[in-house]
């Protein structure tokens, strides 16, 4: 038995405590110890050294064991009565229950064997440890060296999982795999010192490392990268090219997978934290597309263009709207980020202490991935958040997208929300592990709309960029469900995006590949945003002149990442409290 689980399973077998609140508190603590045991790299990031040197177990046996443990925890949680629990305890219980149930249910589907999407992969996650891990002491470096040493075993594990996936017929569609081999081959460089893996060894040594030790640590890093990591990457690359790619599937729909229709219906519910069906989501998407298209038409004619299509064509073709170099694009993104930073106190009372930086997306994944993304930091380990900007294909990265893009990925969007969550007085599992797409991405899209309140869409082109981004998320509701529940082809999905958004061709292709390879995930954005906007409308109507936008925004973020039903309950309570102020 794995040591971290022995105490958990022993506790589960113990009769429940007389006081439900005490039993729940103990269960939450045991769950967190178990969770960190299964996620050792997260543990290190949070300053917990119990998992130092280890990598997550990605084997099928581990999937089954962890699902069994989650089921046992869930059974005990369900034996804890609500009577005697405070509202905060009830929220903790509901959120933990949803997390455990999703892990148990998800493991029942054959699709659990899918290990990567066009958006992310475990090997890119490993390469990212150089940026996302703490390196403040010799202990941190020894931990990283051991992880480099353990990487070949992880590659062997995941190749075994991949072979099982091929045998079960749960592989990614061919249409999404153009950049797959490059995402591995780009990690192998001529010299270890030029690789992403070596970046931590280029820094100033920690204070507790003497000069001689530092040279030895650097030499050990070079040797492990050259002799262990690079050969493992080459082995993975050979497997991808010789075994996986020849077995990719032609049909893009999740319905073509074993149990695919049922899996997709479950994914819709999980990603939106609602009971909506794929058909209901599709209908909502069509309605939102029609509404936003009318706003885009009105904006275009108001700006003097004969049509929305004419304005978008001009915006896509005029060189003045595009950066000439990666540095120019990064500079523009950085300036937009600092511009919004200066307006943040008009939107919030409470702001996070953790800063964020701006970096380019790694070159080996940039051409096949999205326009930008955010990577959380860690106050405990001294790691800032990062707003990653795609600097490839510059003729496809218009500057008029930057206001909405920055508002979503940096502030007031993901960085603001996640960095605040890390500071909240909540159980550790809620601060660091609770993640519901509808909340996080719904907030990101709502944050784009907050740009209206702070005046960052100060030209018709920038405002069209905002509307295009909102249309993009509305199109997702139609396209994702079209692909996976209505039999659409990739060509149909691409054409729908071209007909209705201002996104460039490269962005559309990358996005549609993402929806194909990661079914359901993209639905959370618009569903969550609509619910947050609905709660704001409700608060404005109920409070009238007493409504304070800053306090409302704080209230939405006050309990961290929560399912939509929990959010509605907390905002309703906030409205009642505001009436009494």
CB proximity list for 235: less than 8 A, separation 6 or greater: 152, 155, 159
What confidence tens digit (pLDDT) does each residue in 440-462 have?
Answer: 999 999 999 999 999 999 999 99
Question: Can you give the length of the chain in residues?
Answer: 581
Residues 288 and 223 in one domain: no
- Number of structural domains in the chain: 3
Calpha distance 41→55 (Å, rounded):
7
Residues 340 and 368 in one domain: yes
Residues 426 and 514 in one domain: yes
Q: Tell whether 119 is covered by a domain.
A: no
Angle subtended at Cα 69 by Cα 68 and Cα 73, rounded to the nearest 5 degrees: 120
CB 12 within 8 A of CB 72: yes
Calpha distance 481→161 (Å, rounded):
28
CB 174 within 8 A of CB 181: no
The helix/strand/coil state of 373 is strand
CB proximity list for 62: less than 8 A, separation 6 or greater: 38, 56
Calpha distance 372→507 (Å, rounded):
11
Residues 492 and 453 in one domain: yes
Q: Of 86, 108, 130, which marks where a domain is finished?
A: 108
Residues 438 and 490 in one domain: yes
Q: What's the gap between Cα 18 and its chain centre?
A: 39
Q: Of 223, 250, 277, which marks where a domain is finished?
A: 250
Tell me the C-alpha to C-alpha distance, in Å, between residue 230 and each of 123, 156, 162, 234: 12, 14, 20, 6
Helix residue spans in 169-229 (DSSP H): 180-185, 211-224
Q: Tell whether 570 is covered by a domain.
A: no
Residues 18 and 55 in one domain: yes
Give residue 433's pLDDT. Answer: 95
Residues 340 and 219 in one domain: no
Q: Tell whether 271 is covered by a domain.
A: yes
Q: What is the DSSP string of 389-423?
A: E--SSGGG-BGGGHHHHHHHHTTTTHHHHHHHHTT
- Other C-beta atoms within 10 Å of 351: how many? 15
Q: Tell whether 546 is covered by a domain.
A: no
Residues 227 and 285 in one domain: no
Selection from 421, 433, 557 nearest residue 96 by Cα: 433
Q: Tell me the residue range of the domain where 16 lies.
A: 1-108
Q: Of 221, 250, 279, which marks where a domain is finished?
A: 250
Residues 316 and 349 in one domain: yes
Selection from 529, 464, 527, 530 nearest residue 501 by Cα: 464
Q: Tell whether 185 is covered by a domain.
A: yes
Residues 104 and 152 in one domain: no
Calpha distance 444→512 (Å, rounded):
20
Q: Tell whether 568 is covered by a domain.
A: no
3-state DSSP helix/strand/coil % of the chain, to nearest 5: 70, 5, 25
CB 270 within 8 A of CB 520: yes
Calpha distance 150→157 (Å, rounded):
11
Q: Tell whether 512 is covered by a domain.
A: yes
Residues 202 and 289 in one domain: no
- Specify the pairing of strand 356-360 against strand 385-389: parallel
Residues 285 and 155 in one domain: no
Give residue 17's pLDDT. Answer: 44
Q: Tell whether 509 is covered by a domain.
A: yes
Which of the 8 DSSP states describes residue 277? -
- Other C-beta atoms within 10 Å of 208: how many? 10
Global pTM?
0.90
Give residue 289's pLDDT. Answer: 98
The edge-to-edge listing of strands for the beta sheet with 356-360 is 356-360, 385-389, 372-375
Alpha-carbon radius of gyration of the chain: 24
Ranges of residues in the chain with a pLDDT under 70 are 1-18
The helix/strand/coil state of 456 is coil
Calpha distance 356→316 (Å, rounded):
30
Bridge partners (DSSP) of residue 121 are 116
Tell me the C-alpha to C-alpha distance, in Å, between residue 490 and each of 495, 510, 512: 9, 11, 7
Instruction: Output 62-66 pairs: Cβ under 8 A, ≥24 positions apart.
Output: 62/38, 63/107, 63/112, 64/107, 65/2, 65/5, 66/38, 66/103, 66/107
In the numeric block, which tokens belong to residue 241?
Answer: 């090219």
The helix/strand/coil state of 518 is coil
Dihedral (C-alpha) 572, 573, 575, 580: value to the nearest 10 degrees? Answer: 150
Residue that is written with structure tokens 């294909």 in the block: 393
Calpha distance 477→146 (Å, rounded):
43
């Amino acid at each position: 038995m794995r040591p971290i689980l022995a105490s958990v399973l022993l506790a589960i077998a113990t009769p429940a405590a007389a006081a439900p609140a005490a039993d729940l508190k103990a269960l939450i603590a045991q769950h967190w110890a178990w969770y960190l045991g299964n996620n050792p790299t997260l543990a290190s990031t949070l300053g917990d050294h119990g998992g130092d040197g280890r990598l997550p177990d990605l084997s099928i046996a581990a999937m089954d064991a962890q699902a069994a443990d989650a089921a046992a925890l869930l059974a005990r949680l369900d034996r804890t009565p609500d009577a005697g629990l405070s509202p905060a305890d009830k929220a903790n219980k509901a959120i933990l229950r949803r997390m455990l149930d999703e892990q148990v249910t998800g493991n029942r589907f054959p699709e659990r064997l899918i290990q990567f999407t066009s958006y992310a992969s475990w090997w890119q996650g490993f390469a990212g440890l150089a940026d996302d891990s703490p390196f403040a002491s010799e202990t941190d470096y020894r931990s990283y060296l051991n992880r480099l040493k353990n990487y070949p075993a992880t590659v062997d594990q995941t190749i075994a999982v991949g072979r099982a996936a091929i045998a079960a017929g749960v592989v990614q569609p061919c249409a999404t795999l153009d950049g797959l081999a490059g995402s591995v081959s780009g990690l192998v460089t001529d010299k270890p010192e030029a690789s992403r893996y070596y970046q931590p060894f280029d820094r100033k040594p920690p204070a507790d490392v003497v000069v001689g030790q530092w040279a030895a640590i650097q030499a050990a890093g070079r040797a492990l990268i050259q002799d262990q990591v690079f050969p493992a990457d080459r082995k993975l690359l050979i497997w991808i090219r010789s075994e996986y790619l020849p077995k990719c599937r032609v049909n893009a729909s999740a319905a073509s997978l074993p149990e695919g229709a049922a899996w997709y219906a479950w994914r819709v519910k999980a990603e939106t934290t609602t009971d909506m069906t794929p058909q209901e989501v599709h209908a909502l998407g069509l309605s939102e597309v029609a509404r936003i298209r009318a706003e885009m038409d009105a904006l275009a004619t108001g700006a003097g263009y004969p049509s929305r299509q004419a304005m978008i064509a001009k915006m896509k073709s005029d060189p003045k709207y595009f950066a000439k170099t990666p540095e120019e694009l990064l500079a523009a993104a950085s300036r937009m980020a600092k511009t919004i930073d200066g307006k943040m106190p008009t939107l919030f009372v409470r702001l996070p202490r953790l800063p964020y930086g701006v970096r380019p997306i790694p070159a080996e994944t940039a051409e096949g991935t999205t326009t930008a993304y955010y990577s959380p930091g860690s106050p405990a380990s001294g790691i800032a958040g990062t707003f990653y900007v795609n600097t490839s294909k510059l003729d496809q990265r218009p500057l008029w997208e930057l206001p909405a893009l920055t508002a979503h990925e940096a502030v007031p969007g993901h960085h603001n929300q996640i960095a605040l969550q890390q500071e909240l007085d909540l159980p550790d599992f809620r601060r660091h592990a609770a993640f519901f797409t509808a909340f996080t991405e719904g907030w990101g899209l709502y944050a784009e709309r907050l740009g209206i309140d702070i005046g960052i869409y100060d030209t018709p082109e920038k405002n069209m960029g905002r509307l295009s981004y909102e249309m993009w998320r509305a199109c997702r509701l139609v396209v994702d469900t079209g692909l996976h529940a209505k039999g659409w082809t990739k060509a149909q999905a691409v054409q729908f995006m071209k007909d209705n958004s201002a996104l460039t061709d490269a962005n559309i292709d990358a996005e549609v590949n993402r929806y194909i390879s990661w079914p359901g995930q993209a639905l959370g954005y618009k569903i969550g945003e609509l619910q947050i906007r609905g709660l704001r409308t409700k608060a404005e109507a109920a409070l009238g002149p007493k409504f304070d936008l800053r306090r409302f925004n704080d209230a939405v973020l006050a309990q961290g990442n929560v399912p939509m039903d929990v959010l509605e309950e907390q905002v309703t309570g906030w409205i009642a409290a505001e009436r009494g102020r």
